[in-house]
Every structure is written in structure tokens, then in C-alpha cells.
Amino acid sequence: MSTRAVLHPLALVALALLIANDHVLKAAFPGWWTGKLSDVAGLAVFPLLVAAGGELAGLWRGDRRTVVVLAVITGVVFAAIKLSPLAGDGYRVAQAALQWPFRALAALAHGRGAPGLGRAHLTPDVTDLLALPALLVSPALLAATVRAAVSSPRASGRPPEPAAAPGR
């Protein structure tokens, strides 16, 4: 069901907001609110994206329990990154490793040598924890999707139940 919830308009808006804020708005309007906007949008949709990815890969069912567990894990990891220098360093190294192939491709395209691994940028701002309530959005979107599917079986994508044969 999370593969369906991830197509919910609110999830799509949150994802679009995350990308636009990181790559356009932060540069155009650097400041407090653009810094928080990505945290809110990211936390709102991240558990649902992971749940949907796992469901597509056949790792789990992507039901409500899965999304709630992923939301809790996301919150704990997010808080640790913001509060603990050790966790923050771990995040910077892991993120840099994930980004390195893209940076290497960009460097090669510009005729430069492959860059070092380095560390990704991290702003350890405790006030970012104000965005944690956004984690409630993913379970809420899944619940809304389930409700819509139950109230309208056609909308669930399932074929309609066959009518009972007369005379049975």
C-alpha cells in the first residue's frame, strides 16, 4: 500500500518542495526558513519513500506498521545526527560516499581528476529538531490511502467482486 501512498498529491508536493528548496530556494533565499523547509519536507516523505522502495524490492509489505517503524527510525537517526558529533560525522562520511560517484562524473566531464572522498556538508543545528513532527505525515498519508481504498474498492486497483451466480 505504501507504493500507492507515495503517489498521494501531498507526498509528491513534499518531494518537489524538497528538491526545489535544496537546489533553487536555498541559493536564492538563504536563511532560517529555507534551512528548515528541507527538513520538514524530507521528514514528511522519507519514511514513505523507504517503505515504498522496500515494498517494490519485495523486502516488506509496506503496510502501516512498516511506515510507523520507519518513521521512528528516521526520527531517531535524524535527532542523533543533529545532536551527536559522532553520528554527525558518520552521516557526513556516508553521504559523501553516496555523492562521490556524481562528483567524480562531474569532475571528469570538466576535464578534472577524480575528487577525494571528503565529507558532506552538515549544519548541526539543534533547532532543526522542530521539524520532527513532520514524521507524522507519512503514516497519515498511508492511513488516508487505506481509507480511500476501503471506501472505494475500484480506486484500490482491485477488480470488482464478481456478482453471486443466481440460484446458488
Partner 1 sequence: MPPLPLRHRRLASAVIVAAGAFASVATTMVEWVRTDDVIIPPVHLDSAQPIIEYHLRAKAEGPVTDSRAVLTVTLDHAVTNGAVRATLSGPDGLDRQEVVVNPIAAEPIYFEITPWSQCPTTSCQLEVTLRLELTSPPDVVATADLEGRAELNVSAPGEEPAGVQVDLDVVDEVIP
124-145 b/e (C-beta count within 10 Å ≥ 16 → b) = eeeebeebbebbebbbbbbeeb
Q: What residues numbered 100-139 form the site for partner 1, per CB under 8 A?
A: 102-103, 118, 120-123
Question: Which of 63, 90, 95, 124 lies at the binding interface for partner 1 (CB under 8 A)?
Answer: 95
Task: Please report how the helices 9-20 and 137-151 are oriented relative to each other, as an axis angle in degrees rounded to 10.
Answer: 150
Please state the closest distance from residue 148 (CB atom) to partner 1, in A.
10
User: Which of 37, 44, 45, 71 is in the footprint of partner 1 by CB under 8 A?
Assistant: 45
Could you tell me which stretch among 63-71, 81-89, 139-147, 150-158 binds partner 1 (CB under 8 A)?
A: 150-158
Which residue's entry shows cell 535544496? 22
The x, y and z cell numbers of residue 144, run together, are 488516508
Nearest to 125 by CA among 76, 81, 77: 81
Q: Which residues bind partner 1 (CB under 8 A)?
A: 3-4, 6-7, 11-12, 15, 18-19, 22-23, 26-27, 30, 34-35, 38, 42, 45-46, 49, 52-53, 56, 95, 98-99, 102-103, 118, 120-123, 154-157
